[in-house]
Structures are given as structure tokens and as C-alpha cells.
């Protein structure tokens, strides 16, 4: 989620790109305002996903930070360049299960790896899984210019003053030719079961020796990337949103003291204004989507996050959103 990098080592979970959750989007369908689009992107290699993993989109629709709805995606082992996926829908207590449980709303549907999307419908749901153009844009070399990462530090010490007024940005989008594996679901907004506000998060769990281990998660863009260290990211990725504030707020406050000279009180106020913790994407379906209310492809989430971290001191990168996104399903552009 805009978690194309997580911590200084920049490595995917367990060294496996297939397990890497990149971005989470939520917005109203451009074609029908009564429908909501949810997108979970993974695997920046944009090839087959892991057959021993469960990928999940979970939704809290009553404010208790527990899953009320869960969509689970389970992929077959790839064969001769092809892969299929089953999609399960769980409600209530079943949505809290780490397993892929509930009603199977799509069964054995084909994953798309070519330029033509294979789109599937079932009931009120429209679904796509496969390779698409990555809409995320960022200047990675500029980020490295901005932060002091010597001595194996994480992205925790911006040195704007050391740049002598010079911009850290290169003006080059590091992601213009990138693809990603996308899971795209569109449904009537009423299916989400909330009057307006929902909280959404993604999870990837891998079955190892008969046990499901939670190896990655997605919520707010760039939170995991910037707020975690290499020492904490495994625990963070395995944790649950309901425990986020208790477990992580002190680490976030400490980081913000370094990145933006925040006082403790200022850091807590900023975290509360955004709703940074719990690390779940908030979306009020009664309002237009624009991060931090949902997320759309034109949101410059890196500029947003760096302004947040530096208390407005970091200049904008000047990058433009990608122009190959679509106004029709599956919304992400044709893969490169």
C-alpha cells in the first residue's frame, strides 16, 4: 500500500514478492455512484500469487475495529501460465476467522495475465484478478535524498536542513512502467452494511507447517513504509487493528518527534486527526473519495505522508498521477 517498500531493507515479506501487499483503494464507481469499488494490490512482479496464501479484504462497519465483512481470495497453483481464484464472503463471527470461510461467491475463475481483463460477475458483485498497470506514483530516489539512511537507519531522519534549500526531488516517477497484481471488487454500497463510515484493511496470511501466519497487512498508505523499523515490521504485519493504538502509538510518537519535531501532544493530535491508528483505511461512502477518506488513483499519498511526518516542512514532489487509469471496470490500466 504504497507499501512498495517497507523499512530500510526494502524487502517483501519472507523475501517473497507474491506475499507483498502494495496498495489499497476505496472509491465510488465512476459509472454508478450507488456502487463501491475496493482494490487490493499485491506482488509488484504482477505474476501468479501464492497458492498457499489467503489474501483478504476486511471491513469494519460498526466502529468496533473488528471484521464484520471479509472477502478472502484463494489462488490455485499456477499451471502452464494460468491460475484460478476462489472468492469467499464471510459476515459476522465468520469474518473474524483467519481461514477462507463463508459463501463462495466466485469459484475457479480465471486470472488475467494479458492485456484484456477477464471480468466476472456474481449476484451484485463484479470481480477481476490479475496483472494491471500500477497507479501508484513516487520519486524513490528523492525519498532517499530526503532521509538520512546511513548506519542502517530506517526512514526516520529527514535532513532537509542539510540540503541547503535544495529540493530532494528528482522529478522522476519511479513507477511509470510498473505493473501489479490486482484484486478488484465492485458491489452495491448497501452491501457494506453501514450508514456511511467503514474501515477497510487488507491482510496476507501464509500457511506454513499447517499453520496460518500473518505476513503482511495494508491500511493507510505509506504508514507501514515509514513508521516501521526492520526490527518491528514482522510484528506489525502480524498484528490486528484492534490492538494498534495500544501497541504502536508510542513508536509513532517517537518517530514523529524525529521527523517533524513534534511534541508528544502534537503527535497524538495529528494521529487522531487522520485516524492513523488503527491502521485501517476509513471511507465515508456519503462523501467523495479522496485520501484520507477512501483513496483514489490521483491521491499523492507520498506527498501527503511526508507532509504529515515533517509537520508540513517537506516540499511537494511535483509528480503527476498516471494517465492510463480507466473510467470503467477494472479501473486500473492495461499492463505494460
Q: Which residues contact 143 (CB under 8 A, 6 or more apart)?
A: 155, 168, 302, 306
State the total domains in the chain.
1
Over range 219-247, report the average pLDDT: 92
Q: The domain containing residue 224 runs over which residues?
A: 13-309
Q: What is the pLDDT of residue 6?
A: 58
In a domain, 72, yes or no: yes
Q: Is the pLDDT of residue 209 over 80?
A: yes
Mean pLDDT is lowest, of 9-13, 68-72, 200-204, 258-262, for 9-13
Q: At 244, phi and psi to the nearest 5?
A: -60, -50
- Give this prediction's pTM: 0.96
In terms of Cβ atoms closer than 10 Å to its own Cβ (0-12, 13-18, 19+), residue 195 is exposed
Can you tell me the mean pLDDT for 41-52? 97
DSSP result, 55-96: EEEEEE-SSSSS-SEEEEEEEPPPBTTB-EEEEEEEEGGGGG
CA angle 202, 206, 212 (to 5 degrees): 100
pLDDT band at 224 (very low <50, low <70, confident <90, very high): confident
Is there a domain that residue 75 lies in? yes
Q: With beta carbons less than 8 A apart as the criterion, state whether 319 and 139 touch.
A: yes
Q: What would the pLDDT profile of 106-152 be if each residue is shown by its tens digit? A: 999 999 999 999 999 999 999 999 999 999 999 999 988 888 766 55
6, part of any domain: no
pLDDT digits (tens, 9 = 90+) for 172-199: 999 999 999 999 999 999 999 977 799 9
Is residue 163 included in any domain, yes or no? yes
Tell whether 2 is covered by a domain: no
Instruction: Indicate the pLDDT class of residue 1, thresholds 50, 70 and 90.
Output: very low
Amino acid at each position: 500500500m504504497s507499501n512498495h517498500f517497507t523499512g530500510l531493507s526494502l524487502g517483501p515479506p519472507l523475501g517473497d514478492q507474491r506475499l507483498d501487499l502494495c496498495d489499497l483503494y476505496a472509491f465510488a464507481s465512476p459509472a454508478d455512484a450507488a456502487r463501491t469499488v475496493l482494490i487490493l494490490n499485491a506482488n509488484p512482479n504482477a505474476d501468479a500469487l501464492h497458492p498457499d496464501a489467503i489474501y483478504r479484504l476486511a471491513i469494519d462497519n460498526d466502529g468496533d475495529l473488528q471484521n464484520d465483512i471479509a472477502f478472502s481470495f484463494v489462488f490455485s497453483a499456477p499451471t502452464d501460465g494460468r491460475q484460478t481464484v476462489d472468492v469467499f464472503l464471510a459476515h459476522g463471527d465468520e469474518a473474524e476467522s483467519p481461514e477462507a470461510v463463508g459463501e463462495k461467491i466466485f469459484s475457479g475463475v480465471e486470472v488475467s495475465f494479458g492485456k484484456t481483463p477477464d471480468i466476472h460477475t456474481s449476484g451484485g458483485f463484479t470481480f477481476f484478478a490479475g496483472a494491471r498497470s500500477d497507479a501508484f506514483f513516487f520519486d524513490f530516489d528523492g525519498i532517499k535524498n530526503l532521509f538520512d539512511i546511513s548506519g542502517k537507519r530506517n526512514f526516520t531522519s529527514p535532513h532537509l536542513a542539510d540540503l541547503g534549500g535544495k529540493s530532494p526531488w528528482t522529478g522522476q516517477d519511479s513507477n511509470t512502467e510498473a505493473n501489479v497484481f490486482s484484486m478488484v471488487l465492485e458491489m452495491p454500497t448497501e452491501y457494506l452494511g453501514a450508514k456511511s463510515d467503514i474501515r477497510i484493511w487488507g491482510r496476507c496470511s501464509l500457511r506454513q507447517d499447517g499453520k496460518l501466519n500473518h505476513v503482511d497487512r495494508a491500511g493507510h498508505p505509506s504508514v507501514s513504509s515509514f513508521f516501521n523499523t526492520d526490527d518491528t515490521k514482522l510484528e506489525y504485519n502480524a498484528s490486528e487493528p484492534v490492538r494498534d493504538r495500544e501497541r504502536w502509538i508510542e513508536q509513532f510518537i517517537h518517530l514523529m518527534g524525529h521527523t517533524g519535531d513534534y511534541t508528544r501532544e502534537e503527535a497524538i493530535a495529528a494521529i487522531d486527526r487522520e485516524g492513523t491508528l488503527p491502521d485501517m483505511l476509513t471511507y465515508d461512502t456519503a462523501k467523495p473519495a479522496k485520501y484520507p477518506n477512501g483513496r483514489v488513483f490521483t491521491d499523492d499519498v507520498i506527498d501527503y505522508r511526508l507532509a504529515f511526518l515533517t509537520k508540513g516542512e517537506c516540499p511537494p514532489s511535483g509528480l503527476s498521477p498516471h494517465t492510463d487509469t480507466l473510467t470503467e471496470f477494472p479501473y486500473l490500466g492495461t499492463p505494460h
